[in-house]
Amino acid sequence: MKTDSKQIIHIDQDAFFVSVEIKKNSSLAGKPIIIGGLSDRGVVASCSYEARKYGVYSAMPSRMAKQLCPHAIFIKGDMADYTNYSQQITELLKERVPVLEKASIDEHYIDMTGMDRFFGSMKFAHELRQSILHQIGLPVSFGLSINKTVSKIATNECKPNGELYVKSHEVQDFLNPLSIKKIPGLGDATYLKLSEMGVRKIFTLSQIPADLIVKVLGKNGFSLWQKANGVDLTPVVPYREQKSIGTQQTFDIDTMDVHHIKEIITGMVTNIAYELRQKQKLTACITVTIRYSNFETVTQQAKIPYTSLDTTLIAKAKELFDKVYNRRMLLRLVGVKLSHLVGGHEQIELYGTAERKYNLYQYMDKVRNKYGISAVQLATTIPPKKKY
């Protein structure tokens, strides 16, 4: 059932945001550090291993983290810095590996299949890790195995500063004793359902008939069951082939009404930012396209720190529109695209009003999930009544 042919490396920075902060200020090393919203309503974006010892973890409310680890040092964090280091790491890897997927701000998959005969995947991965450690100066771990899931679990098991090779004949023995919580993508609700059935170890999950799991968990159950059996057929998607999220709108009547166009842009960005959050992704690049009535098409693009926040993206889109729309000519189309997508939901630019807004967005997303995207919009986003 398992294919011997694949050699997949999962390489993941150790406590990435914290490590960047320590690189900036070495006196923080060895201390319990929490990155994230400082206010009562904030959440932990990342925390050091010293803080994890107290039970602090990512996405936990900051208030709870403070109770668990009162002497922790809270740092507000700087997404621009983290994005910068993230891109340096990607560049370093891109130059050296055949097929690279950027999975999140601090996580990459490398498909070494075919290359392993020439290099020896373990030696190659070890050297990559050393390069990141010495050239970028940030701690990193990797797992090497037959597919993405097993490699990622291997990384998580050997962190921090670890390397782990799980050979194809060792996969099931490696997985069996682990908690099902270690399976990437297995959320709290699923864990609850499975543990109510007495399923807590990967071994137990792997032994249950697949159709029973599907009955209990639906479609998603089958892929979890496969993972428990060491099977994951999802390919490493090369960096350049990763999809973007975008939308465009052709006006009923060509227009020069900048105010109206900006309202349309606001609506479009609201929708695609929602889609971005639904897919649990962040973007680092935004593009605005306009088409004049003579069909001439021009675009403006900007690199931004990783985000999925409406407010940030709307402001940037409007700014790009102002730059790109520089001829006094009617427009027939406007489009917005978000690219350089990676997995993640860390929102560390959230303080004060932005944080309150984020809570508002989370609430709005919940309503949209239930009643559809147009059920709730910010007052400024509601499209104006047609004047024509």
* DSSP per residue, 27-96: GGTTS-EEEE--STT-BEEEE-HHHHTTT--TTSBHHHHHHH-TTPEEE---HHHHHHHHHHHHHHHHTT
Q: Map tokens 């699923």 to a residue.
A: 190
CB of 279 to Mg ion, least distance (A): 19
Q: Residues with catalytic annotation?
A: 107
In the set 50, 106, 346, 349, which binds Mg ion (CB under 5 A)?
Answer: 106
CA 276 vs CA 17, 161, 272, 302, 337: distances in Å: 22, 32, 6, 17, 11
- Is 365 one of the annotated binding-site residues? no
- Is 12 one of the annotated binding-site residues? yes
d(CA 262, CA 321): 8
Q: Which of 48-56, 100-108, 161-169, 218-226 is the region at the interface with Mg ion (rule: CB under 5 A)?
A: 100-108
Q: Which of 12-20, 232-240, 283-291, 369-377 is the region at the interface with Mg ion (rule: CB under 5 A)?
A: 12-20
Told to check if 346 binds Mg ion by CB under 5 A, we report: no
Q: Which is nearer to Mg ion, 153 or 336 (CB)?
A: 153
Q: Which is nearer to Mg ion, 136 or 317 (CB)?
A: 136
d(CA 156, CA 139): 14
Q: Which is nearer to Mg ion, 21 or 106 (CB)?
A: 106
At residue 318, φ and ψ (nearest 5 deg) are -65, -40
Site string for Mg ion, 14-33 (x = CB under 5 A): --x-----------------
Q: Of 348, 377, 371, nearest to 273 (Cα)?
A: 377
CB of 140 to Mg ion, least distance (A): 8
Beta bridge partners of 246: 337
Told to check if 13 binds Mg ion by CB under 5 A, we report: yes
CB of 145 to Mg ion, least distance (A): 18
CB of 121 to Mg ion, least distance (A): 21
Q: Which is nearer to Mg ion, 155 or 172 (CB)?
A: 155
Q: Which is nearer to Mg ion, 12 or 355 (CB)?
A: 12
Q: Which amino acid is at 4?
A: D
Q: Give the interface size with Mg ion as a residue count (CB under 5 A).
A: 4
Told to check if 12 binds Mg ion by CB under 5 A, we report: yes
Q: Is 204 exposed, middle or buried (0-12, 13-18, 19+ CB in 10 A)?
A: middle
- Residue numbers in the known binding site for Mg(2+) are 12, 106
- Residue numbers in the known binding site are 12, 106
- The binding site for Mg ion (CB under 5 A) comprises 12-13, 16, 106
